[in-house]
A and B are shown apart, each in its own frame.
Chain A
Amino acid sequence: MGAIYIDPSLKRATINDDECVECYSCFNGLSQEHLNPTMVRTIRKLLSLARIRFDPEPDVCPTAAFEPNELAWPRVVRRAFSDPRVPHESTGVEGRGTEEVKTNDVTGRVQLGEAGFTIEFGRPGVGVRFREIQEMCWALAQAKVAFEKKNPVTSLMSDLSTGTLREDILGEKVLSAIVEIKVPVERVEEVIRLVWDVEKRIRTVVTLGVGVRCESDGEDHVVAPILERLGYKLERAKTNTGMGRVSRVVEQPKKDLVSA
């Protein structure tokens, strides 16, 4: 995000709170040394006077200066969508989306003849404000597309039928957020063209993913040709091998019956 910088007047590392998405990467990702801050600053100053610069490990905070903020609504939404270690209360899944086709062999969420879209905003590393996500949600709702109910963005909609998000979160910036929808394969091209249209009006990156159920021979003869016809070169995919199964619930005999 580039939210951390050295303030020229304070001469201290400062966080731009408006740009910070509360991903906690600085707090979780940096190693810490717990050195005395005055000592560290003095050494740095003396070295800089002699035009010498220490070459430390770049991922170490010598003074363990970062501390997590107490977040209140609506800012807490930033962390929920930016820090993957925090599970969404709406989904129980760590991260920004749902299980999509990763567990399709167990859930059957996407069936033959259907396509599950993940439309992700702000990824990679650009960030997005909910105001921009709302543009897409409005367009999708207008096209009568159904939103995935167990999705964190859907849970923030004040009006599901119009795709309108809560007013108080529209200015919040997050690292990325995923809108999930499912449509019949006949509507794949229509949805992609709709996404292309909205992309031109928003100021962030959009990442598309399309999940499909393969036929019994393990092939997808329907959606891949549509995507290729639209100009996509299919290079990478997440492939569900179909090894999952629903746990069998073993009925325990009731104690009273056993004793009888």
Chain B
Amino acid sequence: MTNTLHRFGDAASFRDDYVVFAIAAKGKNDQGSLEGLRKFLKIAVEYKPVNLGDARHGGALRPSRSLNPLNHWRRDVSLDFQAVIDGLDHPTTCAAVFDNRPAAEDFVKRIKEEDLGLSVNISTSIDGAEQCCHHACIPRHSVGYSLGFEGATEKLPNSQVLMLSTMCGHGMISHSLAKKMIDFVKEGRRTPKDAAATLMRFCSCGVFNPSRAERIIEDARKKTT
């Protein structure tokens, strides 16, 4: 699952995008890892993430199975971190998303001190991740580089749409919906915050970054490419 690796954008566009996730290796340290993963999520909340999630149940803002029609006028867009922590019932990938480097750095340092024994990865610009490791005084163990999209790239949408839709690497955020939300903001029908929340509900593992999305949508309001 390379769900956070291939986000579209240059290094500068990841200045407010730090995904830190913990995972247990199947058959190696997954037994009894649930408590460690839960602790990872609990600690993350102290560092004010913009999203939190697990790969089975989703992020801190989820779709509702029984919505009241009045919600069209007063939709709740508050993040429910506690639901993510309480809902974790199986060893899976747990992620915390930060929109600033100091928070990500401090969180990584703290996780190192806690010594959970889980594999912890940072998905962001190469430089950003190096800075986080440097702050925690740890050399990088391994790196997975993203080489970007190739082949029939004429089938891809414009860069703004791509930056939004690739924030769910599993492809649960469609290009059409991302384009629609940009258009809604351009037409004054939604705020960037509302538009980002709509997209965020589709991300099934909680790695969507609503802060970055708001910034991209705000940029797209005035720019055309």
B:3-33 near A, CB below 8 Å: 3-11, 14, 21, 23-26, 28-29, 31-32
Given contacts A99-B25, A237-B129, contact A59 B145 (CB under 8 A): no
Q: Are A94 and B1 within 8 A (Cβ)? A: yes
* Cβ of B45 under 8 Å from chain A: no
Q: Are A209 and B145 within 8 A (Cβ)? A: yes
In the complex the two chains form, what is the Cα distance from A178 to B144 in whole Å?
Answer: 14
Q: How far is the CB of A184 from chain B (nearest CB, A)?
A: 16
Q: Are B125 and A235 within 8 A (Cβ)? A: yes
State the majority secondary structure of interface residues on A: loop
B:64-80 near A, CB below 8 Å: 64-69, 71-72, 75
The stretch from A8-16, A25-33, A161-169, A252-260 touching chain B is A25-33
Q: Are A239 and B122 within 8 A (Cβ)? A: yes
Contact of A95 among B55, B69, B139, B176 (CB under 8 A): B55
Q: What would 8 A/B residue contacts be, using CB atoms closer than 8 Å?
A: A97-B1, A102-B93, A126-B155, A213-B141, A236-B123, A237-B144, A237-B145, A238-B143
Q: Are B1 and A95 within 8 A (Cβ)? A: yes
Q: List chain B positions with a Cβ less than 8 A from chain A.
A: 1-11, 14, 21, 23-26, 28-29, 31-32, 55-56, 63-69, 71-72, 75, 92-93, 108, 111-112, 115-126, 129-130, 132-133, 136, 138-153, 155-156, 162, 165-166, 169-172, 174-177, 180-181, 184, 189, 198, 201-202, 204-205
In the assembled complex, which residues on chain A have CB atoms less than 8 Å from the CB atom of B3?
84, 95
In the complex the two chains form, what is the Cα distance from A82 to B1 in whole Å?
Answer: 12
Contact of B67 among A33, A205, A232 (CB under 8 A): A33
Return the CB mask of A30-61 against B: 1 if under 8 Å, else 0: 11111100000000000000000001111110
* Closest partner residue, chain B, to A215 (CB atom): B139
Most buried by B among A124, A213, A236, A238: A236
Chain A interface, number of residues (Cβ within 8 angstroms): 88
Q: Are B139 and A126 within 8 A (Cβ)? A: no
In the complex the two chains form, what is the Cα distance from A237 to B132 in whole Å?
Answer: 13
In the assembled complex, which residues on chain A have CB atoms less than 8 Å from the CB atom of B172?
23, 25, 28-29, 84
Most buried by A among B1, B68, B201: B1
* Cβ of A75 under 8 Å from chain B: no
Given contacts A56-B72, A236-B11, contact A241 B126 (CB under 8 A): no
Q: Are B141 and A125 within 8 A (Cβ)? A: no
Instruction: Given contact pairs A25-B202, A240-B144, enumerate 17 new A-B contacts (beta carbons under 8 Å).
Output: A25-B174, A32-B65, A32-B67, A58-B177, A85-B56, A95-B1, A100-B144, A103-B28, A104-B141, A106-B119, A209-B6, A212-B144, A236-B124, A238-B123, A239-B129, A241-B138, A247-B32
In the complex the two chains form, what is the Cα distance from A59 to B177 in whole Å?
Answer: 9
Q: Are A214 and B140 within 8 A (Cβ)? A: yes
